Amino acid sequence: MGVIDLTDVVVVGGGIAGLSVAWRAAAAGHRVVVADPSPGSGATHAAAGMLAPVSEVTYTEEPLLRLGLASLELWPSFAAELSEESGLDVDHRADGTLDVAFGADDLAALDELADFMRKLSLPVERLTGRECRRAEPMLAPSVRGGLLAAGDAWVDPRRVTAALLAALPRRGAAVVRERVTGLSVERGAARGVRLADGRVLAAERVVLAAGAWSGSLEGFPPEVAPPVRPVKGQIMRLRGAPGFLGRCVRGVVHGSSAYLVPRGDGEIVLGATQEEMGFDTRVTAGGLWELLRDARELVPGVTELEVSGLSAGLRPGTPDNLPVLGATAMEGLLLASGHHRGGVLLAPLTAGLLAAELDGTLAGDPSAYGRAAAVCSPLRFHQAPAAHGSGNGTTAHHR
Amino acid sequence: MGVIDLTDVVVVGGGIAGLSVAWRAAAAGHRVVVADPSPGSGATHAAAGMLAPVSEVTYTEEPLLRLGLASLELWPSFAAELSEESGLDVDHRADGTLDVAFGADDLAALDELADFMRKLSLPVERLTGRECRRAEPMLAPSVRGGLLAAGDAWVDPRRVTAALLAALPRRGAAVVRERVTGLSVERGAARGVRLADGRVLAAERVVLAAGAWSGSLEGFPPEVAPPVRPVKGQIMRLRGAPGFLGRCVRGVVHGSSAYLVPRGDGEIVLGATQEEMGFDTRVTAGGLWELLRDARELVPGVTELEVSGLSAGLRPGTPDNLPVLGATAMEGLLLASGHHRGGVLLAPLTAGLLAAELDGTLAGDPSAYGRAAAVCSPLRFHQAPAAHGSGNGTTAHHR
Q: A246-264, pLDDT tens digit by residue? A: 999 999 887 778 999 999 9
Closest partner residue to B288 (CB to CB) among A239, A282, A288 is: A288
Low-confidence ranges of chain B (pLDDT < 70): 1-5, 56-60, 383-399
pTM of the model: 0.89
3-state secondary structure at position B184: strand
Contact check, Cβ <8 Å, B310/A305: no
Q: What is the mean predicted confidence (pLDDT) over A147-174?
A: 96
At B319 the pLDDT is 95
CA–CA separation, A235 vs B279, rounded Å?
Answer: 28
Using the Cβ of A384 and the Cβ atoms of chain B, whether some distance falls under 8 Å is answered with no
pLDDT band at A393 (very low <50, low <70, confident <90, very high): very low
The pLDDT score that the predictor gives to residue B117 is 84
* Range scoring the smallest mean pLDDT among A106-115, A149-158, B233-242: A106-115
On the question of pLDDT at A208 being above 50, the answer is yes
Query: What is residue A117's predicted lDDT score, i.e. its pLDDT?
Result: 84
Q: Judging by DSSP bridges, how do beta strands A50-51 and A153-154 pair with one another? A: antiparallel
Q: Which of A283, A292, A295 sits opposite B306 (nearest CB)?
A: A283
DSSP A395: P
Question: Which chain A residue has the Cα nearest residue B268?
Answer: A285
Q: Which of residues 185-244 of B touch A (CB under 8 A)?
A: 236, 238-239
Q: What is the pLDDT of residue A256?
A: 78
pLDDT of residue A218: 86
Q: Are residue A120 and residue A107 in the same domain, yes or no?
A: yes
Neighbours of B46 (CB within 10 A): 26
Whether the per-residue pLDDT at A395 is higher than 90: the answer is: no
Domain shared by A247 and A280, yes or no: yes
Strands A333-337 and A200-208: parallel
pLDDT band with cut points at 50, 70 and 90 for residue A113: confident
As for how many domains chain A has, the answer is 2
B295 interfaces chain A, CB cutoff of 8 Å: yes
CB-based contact A269:A261 (threshold 8 Å)? yes
Is the domain of B108 the same as that of B255?
Answer: yes
Q: Residue B238, SS3?
A: strand
Angstrom distance (rounded) from CA B317 to CA B296: 28
Q: What CATH number does the domain containing B42 carry?
A: 3.50.50.60
On whether any CB of chain B is under 8 Å from the CB of A388, the answer is no
Contacts of A282 in chain B (CB under 8 A): 239, 306-307
d(CA A258, CA A215): 28
User: Cβ distance B238 to B229 under 8 Å?
Assistant: no
Which helix (H) or strand (E) covers residue A56, if one does? Answer: helix A53-56
CATH number at residue A110: 3.30.9.10
Same domain, B198 and B237: no
Residue A274 dihedral angles phi and psi, to the nearest 5°: -130, 110
ipTM value of the model? 0.86
DSSP sequence for A300-352: GGGGGSEEEEEEEEEEEE-TTS--EEEE-SSTTEEEEE--GGGTTTTHHHHHH
A288: nearest CB among B284, B292, B304: B292
Question: What is the span of the domain harbouring residue B32?
Answer: 1-93+152-228+317-399
Contact A292, B292 (CB under 8 A): yes
- C-beta atoms of A295 and B285 within 8 A: yes
> Is residue A169 located within the same domain as residue A290?
no
Kind plus residue range of the DSSP H or E element containing A135: helix A129-135
The pLDDT value recorded for residue B4 is 61
Residue that finishes a domain, picked among A271, A300, A316: A316
A-B Cβ pairs (cutoff 8 Å, strict): 70
Contact A195, A366 (CB under 8 A): no
Shortest Cα–Cα distance, A264 to chain B (Å): 20
- The Cβ of residue B38 has, within 10 Å, a number of other Cβ atoms equal to 10
Instruction: Determine the distance in angstroms separating the CA of A303 from the nearest CA of chain B, rounded to an integer.
Output: 4
How far is it, in rounded angstroms, from Cα B224 to Cα B327?
10
Please answer yes or no on whether A304 and B288 come within 8 Å at the CB atom: no
Rounded to an integer, the average pLDDT of A135-147 is 96
Enumerate the residues of chain B whose CB falls inside 8 A of the CB of residue A289.
289, 292-293, 296, 303
Q: Do A292 and B296 count as a contact with CB atoms less than 8 A apart?
A: no
The pLDDT score that the predictor gives to residue A62 is 84
For residue A3, give the 3-state DSSP assignment: strand
Same domain, B201 and B68: yes
- State which of A289, A316, A343 marks the end of a domain: A316
Query: Nearest CA of chain A to the CA of B260: how many Å?
Result: 13
A82 and A17 co-located in one domain: yes
Q: Distance from A308 to chain B by nearest Cα, in Å? A: 8
Same domain, A110 and A257: yes
- The whole-number pLDDT of residue A185 equals 95
Inform me whether the pLDDT recorded for A396 exceeds 60: no
Alpha helix positions (H), chain B = 16-27, 43-46, 53-56, 62-86, 104-119, 129-135, 157-170, 285-298, 347-359, 368-376
User: Amino acid letter at B184?
Assistant: S
Residues A242 and A356 in one domain: no
Question: Is residue A89 domain-shared with residue A190, that is, in the same domain?
Answer: yes
Query: How confident is residue A119, by pLDDT bands cut at 50, 70 and 90?
Result: confident
Closest residue to A305, CB basis, from B239, B284, B307: B284
Q: What is the 3-state secondary structure (H, E, C) of B5-56?
A: EEEEEEEECCCHHHHHHHHHHHHCCCCEEEECCCCCCCHHHHCCCEECHHHH
- Gap between the Cα atoms of B84 and B81, Å rounded: 5
**Quick one: pLDDT at residue B109?**
87
CA distance A50 to A57: 12
State how far the Cα of B256 lies from the Cα of B340, in Å rounded to an integer: 17
* Claim to verify: residue B19 and residue B166 sit in the same structural domain: yes
Distance from CA of A219 to the nearest CA of B (A): 31
Q: Mean pLDDT for chain A?
A: 91
Burial class (CB in 10 A: 0-12, 13-18, 19+), B28: middle
Q: How far is CA A144 from CA A113, A129, A182, A389, B78, in A?
A: 16, 4, 54, 52, 60
**Which residue does chain B place closest to A293, by CA atoms?**
B289
Of A265, A293, A316, which one is at a domain's C-terminal end? A316
Quote the pLDDT of residue A53: 87
Please tell me the predicted confidence (pLDDT) of residue B74: 97
Question: Do B77 and B98 sit in the same domain of this protein?
Answer: no
